[in-house]
Amino acid sequence: MIKGLGAFFLGVLSVPVVILFAELGGREKNPMGWSGIFVACVVMAAYFFICQFWLSRGNPHAFLKDWPFMLLLNIMLFLLLFTSFFEEGNMNATYAVQGFALLLFCFAGTLAGAFVASSAARRKGRQPIE
């Protein structure tokens, strides 16, 4: 239960971070252009990696059994992007591609965090006790 609340809270906390980096990287007058979006995606993937690693640490089966926590961590991002698609009156292809790229990078960061946490827990369990 506490892990679920932690995942949900970290997901809610990701919303201002997403908005900040998406705004910095997605401005039309921004000279960084698509590279700014890429940097925002990488930063968000790192954020979700760290959060999922923290949630799954010590669990050798985290990659297979922590799906509810992974979904709770990512649900706020999905809802934010889903509602912003329909809220914007002028939904264009560029905005859709940027949103999909951000969602893809964040899910990849979440999966990578669970995988690394489960690998570390399995490796720690195999070490001989001294």
The DSSP-derived string for 16-58 is HHHHHHHHHHH-TT-TTTHHHHHHHHHHHHHHHHHHHHHHHTT
Paired tokens of 46: 């790192």
Residue type at position 117? A
From the CA atom positions of the chain, what is the Rg in Å?
17
d(CA 4, CA 17): 20
d(CA 32, CA 24): 9
Q: Tell me: the pLDDT tens digits for 8-46?
A: 677 777 767 766 666 665 555 554 466 677 777 888 888
pTM, entire model: 0.75
d(CA 58, CA 15): 27
- The terminus-to-terminus CA distance of the chain in angstroms comes to 34
Which contiguous run of DSSP H or E holds residue 61?
Answer: none
Q: Tell me: the pLDDT tens digits for 80-102?
A: 777 777 765 556 666 777 778 88
pLDDT above 70 as % of the chain? 69
